[in-house]
Structures are given as structure tokens and as C-alpha cells.
Amino acid sequence: MSKKSRNHNVLSVVGVLVLVLGFLFKPSDTIRSFKIKSDLKNQLPRFAEAPEYRNGAECPATTSSSVCDRFRVHIAMTLDVEYLRGSMAAVSSVLTHASCPENVFLHFIVAESDSEKLSPLTLLVRSTFPSLHFKVYLFKDDLVKNLISSSIRSALENPLNYARNYLADILDVCIDRVIYLDSDLLVVDDIQKLWNIELTKSRIIGAPEYCHANFTKYFTDGFWADPVLSRVFSGRNPCYFNTGVMVMDLKRFRQGNYRRRIEGWMELQKQKRIYELGSLPPFLLVFGGDVEAIDHRWNQHGLGGDNVKGSCRSLHPGPVSLLHWSGKGKPWTRLDSGNPCPLDHLWAPYDLHLSTHNHQLLQNKPISTSSSSS
């Protein structure tokens, strides 16, 4: 065969390959795929890389990187774009003040309706906290969409707020205990102290209780007027507790099928309005009066004001281990608007968001891994 013929055959083969590849990977498809990735990347805020946090000499050594290691401190949080900045600051605060940060394991819950953001969010957490042990789970928000009733504030109707009801099903079955944390808080003490709190008398939930609060206001007059419904608290002395900070016994939660009990009240709410708030009242109905009371220092809540105005609040008297901006006002929003509340400045040093206003704050961010004495 002549050299010219061989070249012609090679060119023919190359031509066929080009046609095949062109058919499989049309320019429009390639551009569209790149555009999706680019859009997702641009939707997510950018964060500075946190320092690596290491255990002290007194910390028990984990035997493996397994999520099931018995020395793990398990923390569950939701993860979405709207509250991402708060979540990152919360994680930063946990690791900063943890005596054994390498033993902390974060479980992030992402709504299945946001599943296209799962990979970008995972990469973002990894790049921000290189030394963090974590896992990201998808929450089937369709489970609760039809159970959610309108609330006093639209943000309370987000299905992801109800993910805490399903933690026993979402997390690995080897995890018997977890600390649930909202995304709008700071932990300024050693998280190990909260983890070590004992849940006595087979209790499922541990949380700070506020028995001075008017418990009746969390339910409608129609609820209290119904002798059958109000009987749910018979033999109990229920107090208000905030579900944004809870120690949960997942083994007992599974065994008692508490997910179904909570859903039952949500189903009733769709038929007869018995409360006005979002995910809190069903928890109060199921667990109110049977909660392991934890020191108030572990949830200085309400710093975001009420659910309507979000006005400034001051700290409650006493020591502080956790600051919680529950309510309408969020510290990152108020700081960006140039009209922060005094306590919002306590949140700012933990903010890893790469924005103009906090660039200097990042240079002075606390990085100690020792326990706070506050």
C-alpha cells in the first residue's frame, strides 16, 4: 500500500472518530453542561479556609476515620444556600472551642430538591474545613411538604426545618446520639461538655427549658378548648424549649417511632389549626414535660428578635456557652446592611465569608482549640 493510501485511510478513520465524537458530544450539550456547573459555582458564597484544628494530648484517640467510632462527637446541621454563611460560622465556632476537634463529626443535611447542589456544597465544606470529619446526606423533603402548614413567618415553612424529625432515619444506624444545632448560632464553649450530658429516665431529648414562658401561647384557643387534645399534657408539666439546640437519643427515638408521633400532630394541624408556628409545636406536643433540662447557658436564644420585626435583644443573665440568633434578624444580614445589633459583633469574628466588610475581621479570628471559660 502506498504512503498516500495509508495517509488517506488514517484520515478517514480520524474523520469517522470526529463525526462519532461530534454526535456524542454536541457543542450545545457541552456548553449547557459547563453552564450548569458555572451557575452552581456562582450561586455559592466564597469562604476563607479555616485553620486546621488538632486534638490536645488528653483527647481519646479515634481508632479509624469511620463515622461509627465510639469517640466521635456527632453534630447534625442543615445546609442550604440561604443560611450557608451561618452554618459555616457555627462550624467554625464549634471547632475553635472544642478540646478535641478531630473527634467532632458533622452530619450536614441537604434538601433533595436541592440535590444538584450536593456536590458543590460538599466541596465547599471540604475546602473551608480541610481537617473536618463530615458527611452530607440528602433529605427527602417530599416527606413533609404536604404536612407543612402556613406559619407566622414564611421562612419557618422551609421543609429543611423539619429534617430534625427524621435524623434517626437519615443518619447511619450506628449513631445512637447526636447534637442538633441550628445554623444561626455560635458555640463558645467546649462542645464535649454538651455531648457528655446524660439523658436520664429514658428521655429522648435534652434541651434548656424555659418554664417561665407562657406555654399556652404556642397553641391556639381551639386546642386548649378541646378536652381530648389538651389531655395530651395530662400528667406532664410541659415547659417551652427551643428545638434549635438539642441532644437527641436516636436509638430511643427509633424504637419509640417518634417520627410518626410528630407527623401525626402535623396531619391533625392540616385538619384543625392547633398552632401558629412552624416545626416547634409538634416537638412540644410530643416531648413537652419530658425533656432533660440542660443549663440555660447552652442556648442563649432569641438574639434575632421576634418573628416579625427581628429587633435587637440583649443576653439573658448568667454564663454563656452558646449564642443563638433565633428569630427574624440574622447577624450576617444586619452586619451587611450596616445596621447591626450590638451582639452581632460577637458573631463577626467567626464569619469566614470572603466579603469586603469582614476581610479585616478574618485576620483576627480566634483559632484556639481550648475550651472557653465564658
C-alpha 177/C-alpha 341 separation (Å) is: 35
Rounded to the nearest 5°, which phi and psi values hold at 322?
-150, 130
Cβ 91 vs Cβ 131: under 8 Å: no
Lowest-pLDDT range, 26-30, 120-124, 251-255?
26-30
What does the pLDDT read at residue 156?
63
What does the pLDDT read at residue 143?
85
Partners of residue 207 on adjacent β-strands: 293
Question: pLDDT-based confidence at 341, cuts 50/70/90?
Answer: very high
Average pLDDT over residues 278-305: 95
Beta-strand (E) ranges in the chain? 73-78, 104-111, 133-139, 177-181, 185-187, 205-207, 209-210, 240-241, 245-249, 292-293, 322-324
Q: Where are the domains of the chain?
A: 73-363
Average pLDDT over residues 79-83: 93
Beta-strand (E) ranges in 175-286? 177-181, 185-187, 205-207, 209-210, 240-241, 245-249
Which residue, 105, 107, 109, 106, is CA-closest to 79? 109
State pLDDT tens for residues 187-225.
Answer: 999 999 999 999 999 999 999 999 999 999 999 999 999
Looking at per-residue pLDDT, the higher value among 348 and 373 belongs to 348
C-alpha 185/C-alpha 73 separation (Å) is: 18
What does the pLDDT read at residue 56?
86
Cβ 115 vs Cβ 157: under 8 Å: no
> What does CATH list as the number for 73-363?
3.90.550.10
Provide the mean pLDDT of the chain.
84
Looking at per-residue pLDDT, the higher value among 154 and 233 belongs to 233
pLDDT higher than threshold 90 for residue 57: no
pLDDT higher than threshold 50 for residue 30: no
